[in-house]
Amino acid sequence: MCAFYSILLTIHMKNFSDFSKNCLANVILSKTLKLDSKWPLKIIHFFDDFNTFIAKNEYNRLNVGLFLRKILVRNISIMIFISVSYEYVEKINSNNVLDKLDDNILENIFQKYFEFYKYMKKENLENVDELKPIIDGKRLKKEFPGISLKNIGEIINILINKQIELNNFSEEDAMNVIKTKIEELNINFVKKDK
């Protein structure tokens, strides 16, 4: 909580009358957290998506996993940190209470973002952005000679989605999904001789 207060006090001292999330993020990322200049741009790029996702509060393994892959899990703590700070400053600015730090306001804002973080931890999605398909493209090409790169890409996406959605997705499950998809797409390939 002290870290939040110190950043919020820094923001107050800067006297933002016309502040934006991008401006605030830049201050926190480059001045307070001392991250190099490429990070603010990467993180700021996903802020609107992140806050829209949090506001919907519709969490399931697949949508949270895919979202975390998109924004990269390692950015989550920083994004939460900045989002909480931004909402807090926005609220107190709108209420003209610049000289008072209200624990209840901060706690309510933080709780919203913490629910997302708790869900991510509970579902073991901390490394989801590093997830590899259970059956890779090379093996697909070997098992199903003649399959196109486009179809391989589509099947890999399906496998990744299934691995995220079903925590215990096996190789056998993956082969069944692949065969079903090949039939569904009516893909012609040279069958491998056993």
Q: Which residue has the higher pLDDT, 6 or 166?
A: 166
pLDDT at 13: 43
pTM value is: 0.72
Percent of the residues in the chain that have a pLDDT greater than 70, as a whole number: 66
Q: Is the pLDDT reported for residue 24 higher than 90? A: no
pLDDT at 33: 58
Q: How confident is the model at residue 9 (pLDDT cuts 50, 70, 90)?
A: very low
Q: Is the pLDDT reported for residue 82 higher than 60? A: yes
The answer for residues whose C-beta is within 8 angstroms of residue 186's C-beta and 6 or more apart is none
CB 178 within 8 A of CB 140: yes
Q: Is the pLDDT reported for residue 7 higher than 70? A: no
Q: Which residue has the higher pLDDT, 1 or 163?
A: 163
Q: Helix 103-122 crosses helix 47-56 at what angle (to 10 degrees)?
A: 90
Residue closest to 123 by CA, chosen among 56, 80, 60, 174: 60
pLDDT at 172: 93
How far apart, in whole angstroms, are the C-alpha atoms of residue 4 and residue 82?
9
Q: Is the pLDDT reported for residue 2 higher than 50? A: no
Percent of the residues in the chain that have a pLDDT greater than 90, as a whole number: 28
Tell whether the torsion through CA atoms of 108, 112, 113 and 115 is positive or negative. Answer: positive
How far apart, in whole angstroms, are the C-alpha atoms of residue 74 and residue 32?
18
Q: How confident is the model at residue 119 (pLDDT cuts 50, 70, 90)?
A: very high
From residue 109, give the alpha-carbon distance in Å to each of 13, 94, 146, 150, 173: 21, 15, 53, 44, 41
CB 136 within 8 A of CB 155: no
pLDDT at 159: 94
From residue 60, give the alpha-carbon distance in Å to each of 57, 77, 125: 10, 20, 11
How many alpha carbons fall within 13 Å on the CB side of residue 140? 26
When pLDDT is averaged across residues 76-89 and rounded to a whole number, the result is 74
Q: Which residue has the higher pLDDT, 11 or 139?
A: 139
